[in-house]
Chain A
């Protein structure tokens, strides 16, 4: 039970931290912030990997593998597309081609 209390504690702090961190984001970064945080929500890959443990039979393998695949789409796709987008944001000084 102690463990659960600690997890809730971490959760609440992380929510407040998140609200503080991103409170002042300029509008040109809204889309990269969304796709970048999308990639972070692919963290469920950690749960997916643990789910795909060998001890659970075929159903577990199917559920786990599918979850890993979906989460990895988020992780890889999210980070790459955010990087691609941010690569296009330029200062006037960097503009020379």
Chain B
């Protein structure tokens, strides 16, 4: 009432929407049951987050009531409305959602105890029941779950009731603890590289997960560090933005040089596992950067991108391996690379030429087909004289550089090589984006007919995108085959194309930084098509999570994790225009004239 009387033109948002709360409670219940039956609690139980207290398996269920309650509590405040003051009814609503989600699990437990549906549902097991009832009786387990659900649901709803600052603190702490736990392999590797075994021993439990003390330490740090640096980073940032363009450029260059130097030094402090992991991420960064040129800049939805990866890999194998069945010149890798780039470029032209004439859905399907055709050609008996069919090509030597050899058994050198090529790919994408060609690609993405009418030769320009994308993929292929040492058609399944595309979409289409973040998150944490990520236990749920992430992204954040400004504008045009109008940035001269 006070808000309304203070400003009579403002309308309060309506109160708790109970119907919506009930809906979210049901969604929560269904999600919990689905996750339980997908086998996540059992499958992920082995991985602990905080040693005796919390495992990844339980976390896979516990987030549901919390997130559902938070989601259900968020309300849209339209222009001209004031957000209402939250009260205990909101907490009650959160509690209901929590109870609902937990209720789903309780129901599942009762059903598992009384019926046997193990035949269609593999995870309908006593093991799951045991886990869900905390190894106690069903009644105790059910009560515990309802209690947990209630608490988490209320907490979730409280995120809207508590002051914003406190909420963000809580979020930072929880996410830091989770992140430190997830990054365990990487961080222990790094810290041990600096000779800090004592610290890792204190923070991490020997067989995985944080120690309670370690978790508390991380939480404390997450609380204190923002307090100490908090505003200072912002101040420095503002200072830099305030600088004249010339100096800002210099600051940016220095920052770039420093981070490049750090990256180059990093591999020497990392152990085998972390280097291997980052090398894999780097290979996908390379692929994703290439696909980003094709999909993100030129707007050509290529679902068969793996074809170029395959051509790059196989050409390298044929040219360098002594075991290559047909033709075996045994070239050194750097020279082979030049040939590989040329050949992949030509293959890009050949595949591109027919494909480019199509648009939209047709184009996507045809590229999908070509991706498979290339793989099947490498697999076929017809060409097995050259490519070895299903036996593939083995014994591919590493990369001879002046100081040593880059090969799979030495992940550090592979990572360094990958870094160099990533740098090249980033430079190429960046320069091309801001050139005549890049503008033409954007114009084609916006409106192909008009681009053509404005003098852009769309066929050539799109072919160029295809070829640039192919060449970047061939780098990745060449490194891949030198790293693995052998090459088989099974490495180039359609799934790889899809995963690269997901990396680009989740990271942020059309944005170099986004693509790198996407690869780090997806390939680094969840794992690639065959490469394990930090969460090795996730491998069986990888595709499920990829899919869920993709759906969520498309609904809530179609511009990706690190969005490209232009792309965001495209996807949120209405909001953008509304904002611009409210800020008075849209010119309204014709309307003024009319009056």
Q: Do A and B come from one complex?
A: no
Chain B residues with a Cβ under 8 A of chain A: none
